[in-house]
Structure 1
Amino acid sequence: MNVSLRQLRAFLAVAGHRHFRRAADALHLTQPAVSRLIADLETELDVRLFDRSTREVVPTEAGRYLEQALSRVLDELDGVLAHARTQADPLRGRVRIAAVPTVSAGLVPAGIALCAARHPSLDILLRDQNQAQVLDAVRGGEVDFGLTVEPATREEFEAETILRDPFRLVCRDDHALAAQPSATWPMLADELLVLLDHASGSRRLIDAAFAERQLSMRVALEVGHPYTAFRMVEAGLGVTVTPALSLDALRPGLAVRRLEPEVRREVTLLRRRARSLSPPAQTVWDTFREVALTLA
């Protein structure tokens, strides 16, 4: 069969958008060009792939089968071609990483920027996800590696701790604790707490810090991101315990105090056990380690 990749990619675009003009815009082609590619493909396959109306374009039964099969095959082909390109330039290619929000905001930008300056042929894709999602993405091979808080099941990964990030107290600057040079964990026993929820890797460590000291916790609110916690604290709804890496998102009117004794979380690079990284992924891994050393 004389079927081209351009025809197949045009078919997937039309099937995905259900519209010729939107598909043409996505492919940076004219609408007549996309229509011709689809017509040629239908002629070559001797089957109708779309039912067309004035309002929408809907794949036929044959079209639905081809869409489902082609999506997988072309993804695999893209991966093969990307790998072939790296043979000429070991540091050319795409690296997929996943990171928990506090690390995404506090460490990842500097790491990606340094990689871009040193290795412009590297293409880095980031997933900003909670702890459980990052672990699942690494475990399932959806990303090359992850940046996360020390996992409870560390033994199932190849792991490297790159930073020990201390927890800090954040309160309003008119709060009684803001008048202290530092705070202790027992001082928080009677405070309303705004904490990250249990999808965060940090929450397990915060709960453990209270439990080890046999302190009660008055959790008023649970949120998914430190920035949300800061807004709740700003509104006078409590105080929060947060990793130091998250403090870049701090707003005026809030005070930061050290928590004594200091409790730290381990920021960790993770990859699947017994799986080596590609040269591009290893380069990005090493760069994040370097950036973490400067933060430390």
Structure 2
Amino acid sequence: MNITLRQLRAFVEVIHSGGFTAAARKLHLTQSATSLLIRELEQQLGLALVDRTTRQIALTDAGRELFDSAERILADVEHAVANTQDLVQKRRGRVTIATTPFLAANFLPEVIAKFQLSHPAISVRIADLPTEQLVRVVDSGDADMGFGVFPQLDVALERVTLLRHNLGVMLPAVWPLAQRRRRLTWADLDGQPMIGLVPAGGFRSLVDPLLHREGELASLKFEVGHLSTAVGLVEAGLGATVVPAYVGALVRSTRARFRALNDPVIQRQIELVWRATRSLSPSASAFRSCLETCCKPLQAG
């Protein structure tokens, strides 16, 4: 048996295009040459793959069985070729990283600046998205990797922890709690106006039970979609918001103070994820190394 990539590519393109004529144009072949490739493939397998009529084509049972495998084979070959070309043409690479708006605004710009000192011609694109969308764009291939919080993954992604921080609270600098001491307990937040993130990101499910006292939820004065908005409201003196410690390290403000929370100590992990079925390109691997290096100074609890 001598099945070729040209035959598989013609077969897949005919199905994607819905016919031989459209497929031939995309393959830059004549219709007869495209049809010949399909016939040769069928002869190699000893099975009909496509039912041909005057108006349309349809996959046979054998064709349906082969189609998914053929797509995977072609994708793997194209990815292997792209990776090999990347090794030779690394200076013309591109990396897309998906992360939250807060990290995109407050952390990644410095990482990118450092990265491009050593890789000036590799372009870096940031997809700044809500937490619940990060997995989707990585799994779909729209982003090479995701950087954020992923407590549960429903898809096959590789993951590595880059930051591990205790939770704390951002307080208006003029509040007595901000001036009194560095370490607070969750009970110290009783009766304080709180600023919370919308439940969709998953953070609230971690925080809300700790703000319950005697069966009642601490007063939630504002509910916002982005961490940067919550911090801005804190700076305006409108309430306090629970955040990971790295937020306190990144936010440089004279109007807000970060205080660690104890009793209990709760940790939050920031991870890098990428598709398990697809290796990172050399450009993306280089950016990952730079990101890991830049995370180390923030790794204090």
Same structural fold, with TM-score higher than 0.5 when normalized by the shorter chain: yes
Structure 1 residues 165 and 220: alpha-carbon distance in aligned structure 2, compared to 1, 3 A threshold:
same
Structure 1 position 255 matched with structure 2 position 257: yes
Specify the structure having the higher radius of gyration (Cα).
2
Instruction: Structure 2: give runs of 5+ residues left out of the alignment.
Output: 1-78
Greater Cα shift, 117-126 or 80-89 = 80-89
Partner residue, 1:135: 135
2:234 is matched with 233
| Cα distance between partner residues in 2 of 1:208 and 1:282 | 39
Q: Which amino acid aligns with 2:191?
A: D
Shift of 1:208: 5.0
- The answer for the alignment partner of 1:179 in structure 2 is 179
Kept after mapping to 1: 8 A contact 2:111/2:290: yes
Post-superposition shift, 1:91?
A: 5.1
Q: How far does residue 122 in structure 1 lie from its aligned partner after superposition?
A: 1.2
Contact 1:172–1:255, Cα closer than 8 Å, also in 2 = yes
Q: Are residues 1:221 and 2:245 paired?
A: no
Aligned residues with identical type, % of pairs: 30
Partner of 1:276: 279
Does residue 290 (structure 1) correspond to residue 269 (structure 2)? The answer is no
RMSD over aligned Cα, in angstroms? Answer: 2.9
The corresponding residue for 1:119 is: 119
Q: How does 1:10-89 map to 2 (within 5 A)?
A: 86-89=86-89
Give the structure-1-normalised TM-score: 0.64
Please report how far the alpha carbon of residue 251 of structure 1 lies from its aligned counterpart in structure 2 after TM superposition.
Answer: 3.2
Q: Distance in 1 between the 2:184 and 2:174 partners?
A: 15
User: Residues 105 and 246 of structure 1 are in contact (CA less than 8 Å); yes or no, is this contact kept in structure 2?
Assistant: no
- The whole-number CA distance in structure 1 between the counterparts of 2:87 and 2:252 is 44
AA at the equivalent of 2:280: L
1:51 counterpart residue number: none
Cα deviations by residue, 1:26-57 (Å, 9 ceiling, x for unpaired): xxxxxxxxxxxxxxxxxxxxxxxxxxxxxxxx
Query: Does the 8 Å CA contact 2:95/2:123 hold for their aligned counterparts?
Result: yes
Task: Report the number of matched residues.
Answer: 218
What is the TM-score when the length of structure 2 is the normalising length?
Answer: 0.63
Cα displacement (A) at 1:148: 1.0
Between the aligned partners of 1:290 and 1:213, the Cα distance in structure 2 is 44
Aligned to 2:144: 144
What amino acid is aligned across from residue 218 of structure 1 in structure 2?
S
